[in-house]
Amino acid sequence: MRKPKTIMTGVAVLATLTLPLVAGAANKLVVNGTDGVTPVMTVTDTGWVGSGTSAPVSPFHAVSSGSVYQAAGLLFQFQNTEVAPRSFVAPNFSLYRNNSGGALPNANDALGYFNFGSIISGAYANRALIYGKAEKLWTSATDSPSFLQFMTNPGGIAANREVMRLDSKGTATVNGGLRLYPYTGTGGGDVGTGTTLPSKPACSASTQGTLWFTKSAGADTLQICADGSTGLAWRNITIP
């Protein structure tokens, strides 16, 4: 004799609790609205949840409509009950990835990402994305460098392109050309307070487009590695 599905057992339990808005389908748990007919939430036999849709296409799929911003978002409200509240205990999104068998991520594996887009001709079209990725093969909790990748769509093509990357060392590369080099070391973020500046690299094809700012007691200087009549060289940008 076949055992009844667990989900049908759940329906029976809910029925005994006199919840008339809950109905069982062949392979779903459906919560109907106040009219008793229109589904407002669905749980499939795979555990996927649909809010506002009876056919979820991901583990949690929400569909809503309205004219106020609350109808278009997710809201997490949290009250910290610690006697001495820690600053990092707050509402959050946590995205974690492992490969088959619990293996650690490989180089360039996406750890998680946010999609921004629309539904075009019935298909989801992602046109702006923010990725968190592994910078190289992770080997341990202390050897797991990562980077953030920002992608947008220039229009006229379907493929998105990388427009900015923030690597594990804090270097920002904008559209493959503009590179902003941060301070390194520890201190208050200013010369003379324990912070050290990285050495300016040689101007070459690999650093072409790099901006370099030098703070001094007198006039500051701003330079760019660029090609000119005499070839690649650091060239001063006039600061008024």
Domain ranges in the chain are 1-90, 93-176, 185-240
pLDDT at 37: 84
> What pLDDT does residue 58 have?
93
Confidence label for 174 from pLDDT (cuts 50, 70 and 90): confident
pLDDT in tens, 180-234: 554 444 444 444 444 455 678 899 988 888 888 877 777 788 889 999 999 999 9
- Sheet containing 231-237, strands listed edge to edge, beginning at the edge strand earlier in sequence: 211-214, 221-228, 231-237
What residues are paired with 178 via a beta bridge?
A: 174
Task: Quick: pLDDT tens for 80-138.
Answer: 999 998 998 999 999 999 999 999 999 999 999 999 999 999 999 999 999 999 999 99
Specify the pLDDT at position 183: 44
